[in-house]
């Protein structure tokens, strides 16, 4: 005769994993963990959709792109339970939402990306978000001129898209640094400036748009990842006739009524976690992590993607790599917990061996900056070359479809 089943209290408890943020790192992490089984996975985000954010520069000139780049969470592969809400505070064992709900966890991962990433609007649904992107395209077409604020990769790509798709529209790039693409090899900036100026763009270096024109809360400094549509000098949403001329801090006059495209000021969206994590959150907002992606002093909390301090470029494919390492480590820790409960789920005794992330996947730093549809800059380590390679490898349509195959149940 078979022995009677063990009472439920003797079974190992399923560990609860909370993934905060449904961007590249968060979505891939939740999908990976859910596929492993044996865990209660919860994915939380204030918006019920996943967005291929690096396609937004193209969507500005070709709005049909957003039909594929904005993806409802219901289209994702199994990812556990989705909760639509904004996390406003965090402890070592619980997250609190703006509406008062509490989400307890055994393990958590902060995957909240960067604030002000290119037009991450407040849309609360897929249709509303797509309409936002279409409205931005309409504003661009109606504007008499465009001022791109910031000469990092995003600013250069924006200018290239507009010059290619809307030839004849005046475009000015204003950059606070001494050269474009200043975090890449010197030649990269020279190549970018040469292409832009050859296509009619005016480039202003070591200068800023006057503070009066900045959108509320605009951050100065960083040139990567931030952005948005700003206003002209009269506080209108760009493109209005009769607006007074804008000026830079050095007195350069900018086109009246120009649409301002802000490509500066990105900052990790980690403020909600700072009180609980204390010194693990740096002044730059980055969360300090070990090679295992565990937060310093908080081994049950992980930080991935733009939110973490790993010294590497903040790129989608690297954030996806973080998700793979974090998933393996969370699963290993949860299995060890189960073994300690007496359920035998973790195999041998002792602390599990955790995987470590190698910054940049252990490769020389790589950056691809597309400038227009058929040209771009490839930077590897200290070398930069211009030509067709970057645009071929970084095909926006190709990347969107590749992403859909990775995260969607039915691409």
pLDDT digits (tens, 9 = 90+) for 106-117: 999 999 999 764
Burial of 57 from C-beta contacts in 10 A (0-12 / 13-18 / 19+):
buried
CA distances from 69 to 59, 123, 228, 261, 372 (A): 9, 15, 17, 20, 19
Residue 3 pLDDT > 50: no
Question: Is residue 214's pLDDT more than 80?
Answer: no
For residues 44 and 83, is the Cβ–Cβ distance under 8 A? yes
| Phi-psi sector, 251: left (phi>0), alpha (psi -120 to 50), beta | left
CA–CA gap between residue 214 and residue 39 (Å, rounded): 46
Please name which of 260, 211, 210 lies closest in space to residue 236, comparing C-alpha atoms. Answer: 260
- Mean pLDDT of the 158-178 span: 97
Q: Encode pLDDT of 118-166 as tens digits.
A: 556 678 899 999 999 999 999 999 999 999 999 999 999 999 999 999 9
pLDDT band of 249, cuts 50, 70, 90: very high
What confidence category does residue 347 fall into, taking pLDDT thresholds of 50, 70 and 90? very low
Domains and CATH numbers, the chain: 8-46+85-113+269-362 (3.50.50.60), 139-262 (3.50.50.60)
Residue 225 has pLDDT above 50, yes or no: no
Q: Write out the DSSP string of 214-234.
A: SPTTPPPS--SSB-EE---TT
pLDDT at 182 over 60: yes
Residue 226 scores a pLDDT above 60: no
Whether residue 294 is predicted with pLDDT greater than 90 in this model: the reply is: yes
Percent of the chain with pLDDT over 90: 78
pLDDT, tens only, 375-397: 999 999 999 999 999 999 999 99
**C-alpha span between 51 and 56 (Å, rounded):** 9
pTM, rounded to two decimals: 0.89
* pLDDT tens per residue, range 274-287: 999 999 999 999 99
Confidence at residue 240, expressed as pLDDT on a 0 to 100 scale: 36
Q: What is the pLDDT of residue 4?
A: 52
Q: Whole-angstrom Cα distance, residue 82 to residue 94? A: 16
How confident is residue 266, by pLDDT bands cut at 50, 70 and 90?
confident
Predicted pLDDT of residue 223:
32
User: What rounded mean pLDDT belongs to the chain?
Assistant: 89
**Is the backbone of residue 210 left (phi > 0), alpha (psi -120 to 50) or beta?**
beta
Which has more pLDDT, 149 or 4? Answer: 149
Other Cβ atoms closer than 10 A to 275? 11
Closest CA to 321 of 363, 282, 376: 363
In total, the chain counts a number of residues equal to 411
Taking 80 as the threshold, does the pLDDT of residue 241 lie above it?
no
Which is more confident, 122 or 225? 122
Average pLDDT over every residue of 315-323: 96
- Separation between Cα atoms, residue 319 and residue 313, nearest integer Å: 10
pLDDT tens-digit map of 27-56: 999 999 999 999 999 999 999 999 999 899
């Amino acid at each position: 005769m078979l022995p009677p089943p063990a009472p439920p209290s003797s079974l190992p408890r399923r560990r609860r994993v909370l993934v905060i943020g449904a961007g590249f790192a968060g979505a891939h992490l939740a999908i990976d963990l859910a596929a492993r089984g044996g865990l209660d996975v919860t994915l939380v985000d204030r918006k019920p959709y996943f967005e291929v954010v690096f396609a937004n520069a193209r969507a500005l000139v070709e709005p049909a792109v957003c039909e594929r780049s904005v993806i409802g969470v219901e289209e994702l592969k199994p990812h556990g339970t989705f909760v639509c809400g904004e996390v406003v505070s965090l402890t070592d064992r619980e997250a609190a939402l703006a509406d008062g709900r509490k989400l307890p966890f055994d393990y958590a991962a902060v995957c909240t990306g960067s604030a002000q990433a290119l037009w991450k609007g407040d849309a609360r649904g897929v249709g509303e978000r797509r309409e936002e992107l279409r409205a931005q395209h309409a504003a661009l077409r109606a504007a008499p001129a465009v001022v791109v604020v910031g000469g990092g990769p995003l600013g250069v790509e924006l200018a290239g898209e507009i010059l290619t798709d809307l030839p004849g529209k005046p475009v000015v790039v204003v950059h606070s640094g001494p050269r474009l693409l200043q975090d890449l090899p010197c030649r990269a900036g020279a190549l970018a400036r040469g292409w832009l100026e050859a296509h009619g763009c005016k480039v202003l270096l070591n200068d800023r748009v006057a503070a009066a024109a900045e959108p509320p809360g605009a951050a100065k400094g960083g040139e990567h990842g931030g952005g948005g549509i700003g206003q002209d000098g009269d506080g209108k949403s760009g493109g209005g006739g009769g607006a007074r001329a804008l000026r830079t801090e050095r007195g350069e006059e900018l086109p009246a009524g120009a649409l301002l495209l802000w490509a500066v000021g990105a900052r990790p969206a980690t403020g909600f976690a700072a009180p609980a994590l204390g010194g693990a959150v740096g002044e730059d907002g980055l969360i300090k992590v070990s090679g295992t992606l565990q937060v310093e002093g908080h081994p049950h909390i992980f930080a991935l993607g733009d939110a973490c301090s790993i010294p590497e470029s903040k790129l989608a494919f690297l954030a996806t790599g973080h998700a793979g390492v974090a998933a393996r480590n969370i699963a290993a820790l949860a299995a060890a917990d189960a073994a300690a409960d007496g359920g035998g789920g973790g195999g041998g005794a002792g602390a599990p061996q955790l995987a470590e992330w190698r910054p940049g996947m252990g490769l020389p730093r790589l950056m691809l900056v597309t400038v227009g549809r058929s040209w771009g800059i490839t930077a590897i380590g200290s070398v930069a070359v211009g030509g067709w390679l970057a645009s071929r490898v970084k095909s926006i349509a190709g990347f969107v479809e590749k992403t859909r195959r990775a995260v969607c149940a039915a691409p």
